[in-house]
């Protein structure tokens, strides 16, 4: 896997919190992380929820928002699960001003608008670790690893992060209701495959051995959904999100067999849930909290 430390961008990032920030009380909060993302300077908001019963050595769960760029609403939907299950909730905010369009968020700025590969230091993925570390400092958390969940556009970000960096600090990864995928194939160019990226068979094999769950809403089957990605790349993966997620999982399983590597991924479906953050959260939270 690519060394994620190489993705940290200068200048160094720091939470906009006072010196006593480690005493941040229980409840919901918003902090800001200053710094530079590639060539895009500016702050990044991070919404979080610290449960009343959470301890400094307790688990951390990162939830990546969808295409509406609304980390506060994701936090609010997930906060009851954080309280019930006792995890520190971190919701990074990838706003349009600093992470514009699908290129900078869904696709992680891995290639430029012309499809040319970007250096790893320009990728957006390192912002997740930056957000986690800012929240750790604000809450006095001692854990350095976290569980990582992405829904919709966030799931696009998360699985591409996994395939390209390995997300070494993530102890568990859930990919929920993505609209398109980077298929684990080198004959398809990014963002719908791994061609033209730094990924190799070795890094792909390692990613296939990570603790990953592809989580799909069984009712996420609207081929005309307003935010469903369209075009030859996404449509080749299936008519709707449920089909595309199944195709992605099947391709990963087949690639693990071809490479002769262990396959640790799981496929789970959620009955009667469509393209709903709150509906998927109910199923996802117990998987992430452990």
Within its chain, how far is the Cα of 34 from the centroid?
20
Domains and CATH numbers, the chain: 10-289 (3.40.50.1820)
- Of 30, 92, 101, nearest to 64 (Cα)? 92
Per-residue model confidence (pLDDT) at position 34 = 79
* pLDDT, tens digit, 9 for 90 and up, residues 89-141: 999 999 999 899 999 999 999 999 888 999 998 999 999 999 999 999 999 99
C-alpha 131/C-alpha 42 separation (Å) is 14
Residues with Cβ within 8 Å of 13's Cβ and at least 6 positions away in sequence, in order, are: 33, 34, 35, 130, 133, 134
Per-residue model confidence (pLDDT) at position 49 = 98
Per-residue model confidence (pLDDT) at position 16 = 44
C-alpha 166/C-alpha 51 separation (Å) is 29
Task: Give me the residues of the chain with pLDDT under 50, please.
Answer: 1-21, 39
Per-residue model confidence (pLDDT) at position 7 = 37
Per-residue model confidence (pLDDT) at position 91 = 98
**Reduced to 3 states, what is the DSSP secondary structure of residue 92?**
strand
Per-residue model confidence (pLDDT) at position 227 = 95
Rounded to two decimals, what is the model's pTM?
A: 0.92
């Amino acid at each position: 896997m690519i060394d994620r430390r190489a993705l940290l961008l200068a200048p160094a990032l720091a939470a906009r919190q006072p010196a006593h920030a480690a005493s941040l009380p229980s409840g919901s909060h918003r902090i800001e992380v200053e710094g530079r993302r590639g060539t895009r300077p500016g702050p990044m908001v991070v919404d979080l929820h610290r449960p009343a019963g959470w301890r400094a050595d307790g688990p951390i769960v990162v939830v990546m928002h969808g295409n509406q760029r609304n980390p506060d609403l994701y936090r609010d939907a997930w906060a009851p699960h954080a309280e019930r299950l006792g995890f520190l909730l971190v919701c990074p905010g990838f706003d349009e001003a600093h992470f514009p369009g699908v290129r900078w968020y869904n696709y992680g700025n891995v290639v430029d608008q012309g499809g040319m590969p970007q250096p790893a230091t320009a990728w957006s993925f390192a912002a997740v670790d930056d957000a986690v570390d800012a929240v750790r400092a604000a809450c006095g958390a001692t854990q350095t690893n976290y569980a990582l969940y992405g829904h919709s556009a966030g799931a696009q970000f998360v699985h591409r992060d996994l395939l390209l960096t390995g997300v070494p600090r993530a102890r568990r990864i859930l990919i929920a209701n993505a609209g398109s995928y980077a298929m684990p194939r080198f004959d398809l160019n990014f963002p719908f495959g791994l061609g033209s990226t730094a990924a190799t068979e070795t890094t792909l094999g390692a990613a296939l051995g990570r603790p990953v769950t592809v989580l799909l809403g069984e009712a996420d089957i609207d081929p005309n959904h307003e935010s469903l990605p369209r075009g030859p790349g996404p449509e080749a993966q299936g008519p709707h999100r449920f089909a595309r997620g199944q195709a992605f999982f099947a391709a990963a399983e087949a690639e693990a067999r071809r490479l002769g590597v262990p396959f640790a991924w799981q496929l789970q479906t959620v009955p009667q849930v469509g393209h709903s953050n709150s509906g998927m959260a109910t199923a996802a939270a117990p998987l992430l909290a452990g």
